[in-house]
């Protein structure tokens, strides 16, 4: 169990009881030491049942997490970049924070429709008629 709360921003705080950590053996740097110590961290967070997140953030987070989420809505982040357990733990928590921040970001403003300028319409039509003339000249000469 992770004891301390994870502060995402001024409005979102994930309580410590919502996060579950599991330490497992990791590959990578560390030599023989890596075979003896469980330094990789698996951080579990139930997005679907979290009271800290509103429905929009939950839906966005589930979409962003992709294959890292189980059918029950539990997100698993595995961190094994570093050699120490503490640094991997911080890395996993930081990655969860980034995911939630991205999910909580406001949607982009809607696109404003614009019309082409008068000059660009004229240039397009002039180019089109020029292309037409070139293609007409490719035909067989008329019997005049």
CATH number for the domain spanning 91: value is 3.30.160.20
Range of the domain at 61: 6-104
Q: What percent of the chain has pLDDT over 90?
A: 23
Contact 47, 65 (CB under 8 A): yes
* Distances, alpha carbon 47 to alpha carbons 77, 89, 97, in Å: 12, 19, 12
What's the rounded Cα separation, in Å, for the pair 3 and 62?
A: 24
What's the rounded Cα separation, in Å, for the pair 96 and 13?
A: 12
Instruction: Flag whether pLDDT at 28 surpasses 70.
Output: no
Question: Does a structural domain hold residue 60?
Answer: yes
Question: Does a structural domain hold residue 11?
Answer: yes
Instruction: Flag whether pLDDT at 26 surpasses 80.
Output: no
Looking at residue 116, its pLDDT comes to 95
List pLDDT tens digits, range 107-138. Answer: 889 999 999 999 999 999 999 999 999 999 89
Residue 13 main-chain phi, psi, to 5 deg: -130, 125
Looking at residue 125, its pLDDT comes to 97
Is the model's pTM score more than 0.85? Answer: no
Instruction: Flag whether pLDDT at 36 surpasses 80.
Output: no
Question: Does a structural domain hold residue 139?
Answer: no
Question: Does a structural domain hold residue 117?
Answer: no
Start-to-end CA distance of the chain, whole Å, equals 94
What's the structural domain count of the chain? 1
Question: Does a structural domain hold residue 91?
Answer: yes
Q: How many other CB atoms are there within 10 angstroms of residue 78's CB atom?
A: 16
Q: What percent of the chain has pLDDT over 70?
A: 91
Question: Does a structural domain hold residue 18?
Answer: yes
């Amino acid at each position: 169990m992770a004891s301390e709360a994870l502060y995402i921003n001024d409005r979102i705080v994930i309580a410590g009881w919502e996060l579950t950590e599991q330490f497992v053996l990791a590959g990578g740097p560390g030599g023989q030491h890596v075979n003896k110590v469980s330094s990789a961290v698996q951080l579990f967070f139930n997005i679907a049942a979290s009271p800290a997140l509103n429905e929009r953030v939950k839906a966005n987070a589930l979409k962003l997490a992709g294959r890292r989420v189980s059918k029950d809505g539990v997100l698993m982040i595995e961190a094994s970049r570093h050699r120490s357990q503490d640094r991997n733990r911080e890395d996993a928590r930081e990655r969860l924070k980034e995911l939630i921040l991205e999910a909580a970001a406001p949607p982009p403003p809607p696109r404003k429709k614009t019309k082409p300028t008068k000059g660009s319409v004229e240039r397009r039509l002039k180019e089109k008629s020029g292309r037409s003339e070139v293609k007409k000249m490719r035909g067989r000469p008329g019997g005049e």
